[in-house]
């Protein structure tokens, strides 16, 4: 979807649908050109159900696969009163990531329904990225089974790319705030592996006074890593993230703060 900021405008009352023009006929084939169908849409494979529904939609072999996510608010419609919905925030954060040249998802449609400011329903549709795998699955099922020399090369490349992405985002004041390994996809194209950030409805943009947000991002990223790496290895990786201009005192303080943040909800011990 275009980075045109007018694609999302807050509405106080009524229904709003923004669609990438190239996908207008695609939505019509799913009957989503009818605004009344979004609340009950159930085509595709259910990946999650409940307050938030996520469907993997594959209309045919000739058409692209997309992901349909719906946030339905029945009990607390005041939660997003005069505030952006999670779906809208996710769209905006994908646009922010693209501006930073951080690989992410393409959005093809955004839908919102409000009654006098109270949010009833919000949906977002994103394109599937082919040849991708969540980082935790990729690490366990692919990387650890590669020949040693190849595994080392791929691991170092991904590590360098991820740290560069993190530095770029944080230096620009952008924080994902749910940067779990499952929210990072690894896409393979030939011998090249690229990390892709996804699922960021909680992300925020804050230029100043953002140290706690940096700690939160790095804590989320570190949580799964504790299953595979020692604290010494993680400290060395933190120094790589900080770059050559950092000193030991800065790294030590950040490492301690990340550990304390993780200590509030200690990671579950899992087998690699």
Provide mean pLDDT across the span 28-50.
93
Would you tell me how many other CB atoms lie within 10 Å of the CB of residue 72?
16
Residue 183 in tokens: 């929210």
Residue 75 predicted with pLDDT over 90: no
C-alpha distance from residue 167 to each of 153, 206, 218 (Å): 21, 14, 11
**123 contacts 68 by C-beta, under 8 angstroms:** yes
Note the pLDDT of residue 270. Answer: 58
d(CA 228, CA 270): 9
- pLDDT at position 170 is 97
Residue-wise pLDDT tens digits, 219-252:
999 999 999 999 999 999 999 999 878 889 999 9
- Tens of pLDDT, residue by residue over 31-40, are 999 999 999 9
- 86: tokens are 């999670």
pLDDT value at 20 more than 70: yes
Q: What is the mean pLDDT of the chain?
A: 92
pLDDT score recorded for residue 60: 80
Taking only the tens place, the pLDDT of each residue in 109-126 is 999 999 999 999 999 999
CA dihedral 121, 112, 27, 53 (to 10 degrees): -30
For residue 106, what are the β-bridge partners? none
- The fraction of the chain above a pLDDT of 90, given in percent, is 83
Query: Binning pLDDT at 50, 70 and 90, where does residue 2 land?
Result: very low
Beta bridge partners of 115: 118
Q: Is the pLDDT of residue 267 over 80?
A: no
- Looking at residues 41-68, what average pLDDT do you find? 91
How many whole angstroms separate alpha carbon 220 and alpha carbon 242?
A: 17
Residues linked to residue 96 through DSSP beta bridges, in sequence order: none
CA 121/CA 204 separation, integer angstroms: 21
d(CA 90, CA 124): 8
Question: What whole-number distance in Å separates Cα of residue 46 and Cα of residue 55?
Answer: 5
């Amino acid at each position: 979807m275009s980075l045109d900021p007018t694609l999302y405008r807050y509405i106080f009352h009524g229904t709003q649908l923004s669609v990438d023009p190239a996908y207008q006929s695609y939505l019509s084939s799913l009957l989503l050109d009818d605004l009344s169908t979004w609340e009950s849409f159930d085509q595709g494979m259910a990946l999650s159900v409940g307050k938030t529904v996520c469907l993997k939609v594959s209309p045919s072999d000739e058409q692209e696969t997309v992901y349909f996510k719906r946030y339905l608010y029945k009990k607390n419609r005041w939660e997003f009163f005069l505030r952006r919905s999670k779906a809208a925030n996710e769209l905006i954060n994908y646009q922010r990531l693209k501006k930073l040249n951080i690989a992410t998802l393409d959005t093809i449609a955004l839908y919102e329904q409000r009654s006098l400011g109270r949010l009833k329903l919000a949906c977002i549709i994103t394109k599937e990225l082919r040849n991708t795998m969540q980082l935790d699955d990729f690490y366990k099922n692919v990387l650890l089974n590669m020949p040693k020399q190849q595994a080392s090369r791929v691991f170092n490349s991904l590590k360098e790319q991820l740290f560069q992405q993190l530095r770029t985002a944080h230096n620009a004041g952008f924080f994902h705030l749910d940067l779990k390994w499952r929210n990072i996809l690894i896409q393979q194209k030939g011998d090249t592996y690229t990390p892709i950030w996804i699922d960021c409805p909680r992300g925020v943009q804050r230029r100043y006074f953002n140290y706690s947000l940096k700690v939160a991002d790095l804590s989320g990223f570190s949580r799964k890593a504790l299953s595979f790496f020692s604290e010494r290895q993680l400290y060395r990786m933190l120094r790589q993230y900080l770059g050559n201009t950092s000193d030991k005192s800065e790294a030590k303080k950040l490492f301690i703060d990340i550990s304390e943040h993780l200590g509030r909800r200690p990671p579950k011990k899992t087998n690699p």
